[in-house]
Amino acid sequence: MRFIDNIPAVFKNRYFITGTLFLIWISFFDHYNFLFHSELVQQKKELKKELNRLKKETTKNKIFLRNMNNDEFMEKYAREHYLMKKKGEDIFMLD
């Protein structure tokens, strides 16, 4: 009994062999192989996280710009961030 006689006919088919070699080539040796695909998936996840962060920041900035039209908000913001004061007023910093 020879070794080739023990192999099922499906595995001897030239189309099966060609298809298998093609799948191996595409999976491991092609430019867009599994490793490249997994890197793209990871990059996509990171970009989605950054997009969500930027959307939140944009919303926060829109609210801030809307509030900048309010004189009371502008005065409060200037006092807190730039330590501005009214004429004749003293500021005491407490930590």
Q: Are 84 and 78 in contact (CB under 8 A)?
A: yes
* Mean pLDDT score, 57-72: 94
Q: Say if 22 falls within a structural domain.
A: no
Q: Say if 52 falls within a structural domain.
A: yes
Sign of the alpha-carbon torsion through 64, 66, 67, 71: positive
Q: Say if 39 falls within a structural domain.
A: no
Which percentage of the chain shows pLDDT scores above 70? 98
Q: Say if 37 falls within a structural domain.
A: no
Q: Assign residue 83 a region: left if phi > 0, alpha if psi is -120 to 50, beta otherwise?
A: left
Q: Say if 34 falls within a structural domain.
A: no
pLDDT band at residue 34, thresholds of 50, 70 and 90?
Answer: confident
Domain region containing 78: 45-89
Q: Say if 58 falls within a structural domain.
A: yes
* Mean pLDDT score, 45-65: 97
Predicted TM-score of the model (pTM): 0.57
Q: Say if 7 falls within a structural domain.
A: no
State the total domains in the chain.
1
Q: Say if 19 falls within a structural domain.
A: no
pLDDT at 1: 57
pLDDT of 63 > 90? The answer is yes
